[in-house]
Amino acid sequence: MLYYQFYELNHAAMTPVRAAADATKLMFQNPLNPATHTYWGKNIAASCELLERVTRRYGKPEFGLATTLVAGERVDVEEEVVWERPFCNLLHFNRKVDSRRKKDPKLLIVAPMSGHFATLLRGTVEALLPELDIYITDWVDARQVPVTDGPFGLDDYIDYTIDMLHHLGKDAHVLAVCQPSVPVMAAVARMEEEKDPFAPCTMTLMGGPIDTRKAPTAVNDLAVENGIDWFKRNVIMDVPFPHKGITREVYPGFLQLSGFMSMNLDRHMVAHRDFFQHLIEGDGDGADKHREFYDEYLAVMDLAAEFYLETVEAVFIEHSLPKGELRHYDKLVDPSKITRTALFTVEGEKDDISGIGQTKAAHTITPNVPEHKRAHYEQPGVGHYGVFNGSRYRAEIAPRIVDFIRSHPKLDTESKRQKVGA
């Protein structure tokens, strides 16, 4: 298929149009231009900005978390890469706190590899940063990974998670947002079965598709109705020149974004209409909020074809994890082996990506986690995005995550002592 090549050609062809639109906008925003202050001039400037934005390719955003509050004191935050692989960098938000201060719990946030960059979780990180020592998976755009670096599949994702937990050492915690809930649970199950001393103290799963047979959404129905062969034929494409990953098979980010936007197309159209009106009326705050959201939302990355197809098949079509059929290479993944890691699940009442009950199902397939080491929370009035971002997340979900982590500071050995005593 040549769709990706056509997409690149169209983007290149629109370059002079975007340049002209940007120049015209600047001309009609110049205070020395008499037309700038007219309704006609404001319309032209607003139209040009809207045209430039809807035809632009949005680059990877920055986290931009330069400071945070720790114990009421404003401290600097330095982003540093502490672990690297071809498809992922582990980013540490190093807070410049007093070295004599008791260390906060280490938390590995596994960001979704689902089309958006890890910066989509900026709000997630920002709310937890005052209380926790945060690390996050900064996934690499597959179109920028040379084919010589090899493939990346679901097994590799699980391996990466285990390696990062080993890098963090003992007494770390892990949090998965949406898609990584399945590979993270698989990684913890494998670590528990191997009696790995670096298994996380707690595992928090937020809006994740653990069992998509429960309250299936449009996303789940699409996978079941079409089957894996349809996805192989229709959404997998080769990366074109001039990207580093030329000829690598990927699920393009622009296709993923098209799917997301089509699910709520009327909402996006209204948002852009309102943005146009804000520009004409001079409502800077309203326009800035629109820019801030869509600069993030429209920045997308490609996914390695192996990982995407294996995830669709295992999670959305075969339901392998809840059925006890998921494999990590040749080893069966058995969530019942999880006995020491505490489990916390979070869902949103109005989630239209991971339906109610899909994440909570993690408790059903982990029967050997003690009752005092498990919890579930359903946030009223929020959709998928509200599970990990927004005012309700900051006020009601983030404090619960911090409390759960602090309530289980060490990897539990109680179950091992009970077995020895028996």
**For 79-118, what is each residue's pLDDT tens digit?**
999 999 999 999 999 999 988 888 999 999 999 998 899 9
Report the alpha-carbon distance of residue 265 to residue 245 in Å, rounded.
31
Count the helices and strands in the chain (H runs, E runs).
Answer: 15, 14
SS3 content of the chain, % helix, strand, coil (to 5): 45, 20, 35
Number of other CB atoms surrounding residue 206 within 10 Å: 28
Backbone φ and ψ of 263, nearest 5°: -70, -30
Q: In sequence order, what are the residues at sequence separation of 6 or more whose Cβ sits closer than 8 angstroms to the Cβ of residue 8? A: 240
Residue for token pair 């979780």: 121
What pLDDT does residue 413 have?
64
The pairing of beta strand 202-206 with beta strand 67-70: unpaired
What pLDDT does residue 279 have?
93
Report the alpha-carbon distance of residue 176 to residue 158 in Å, rounded.
12
The pairing of beta strand 202-206 with beta strand 342-348: parallel
Q: Contact at 8 Å (CB) between 203 and 188?
A: yes
Amino acid identity for residue 249 in this structure: E
Extract the runs of DSSP E, i.e. beta strands, from 178-252. 202-206, 237-238, 249-251
CA 266-272-273 angle, to 5 degrees, is: 85
Residue 383 DSSP label:
-
Distances (CA, A) of 306 to 158, 162, 218, 290: 14, 19, 23, 35
Q: What is the C-alpha end-to-end distance of the chain, expressed in Å?
A: 62
Report the alpha-carbon distance of residue 391 to residue 123 in Å, rounded.
10
Q: Contact at 8 Å (CB) between 344 and 378?
A: no
For residue 49, give the 3-state DSSP assignment.
Answer: helix
For residue 283, with 0-12 CB atoms within 10 Å meaning exposed, 13-18 middle and 19 or more buried, which class applies? middle
Extract the runs of DSSP E, i.e. beta strands, from 272-414. 303-304, 327-328, 331-332, 342-348, 374-379
The edge-to-edge listing of strands for the beta sheet with 249-251 is 237-238, 249-251, 303-304
Number of other CB atoms surrounding residue 381 within 10 Å: 10
Q: What is the pLDDT along the chain (422 residues), one digit of tens a residue?
A: 678 988 888 889 999 999 999 999 999 999 999 999 999 999 999 999 999 999 998 989 999 999 999 999 999 999 999 999 999 999 999 999 988 888 999 999 999 998 899 999 999 999 999 999 999 999 999 999 999 999 999 999 999 999 999 999 999 999 999 999 999 999 999 999 999 999 999 999 999 999 999 998 888 888 888 899 999 999 999 999 889 999 999 999 998 888 878 877 899 999 999 999 999 999 999 999 999 999 998 999 999 999 999 999 999 999 999 999 999 999 999 999 999 999 999 999 999 889 999 999 999 999 999 999 999 999 999 999 999 999 999 999 999 999 999 999 998 765 444 443 33
What pLDDT does residue 421 have?
37
Length of the chain: 422
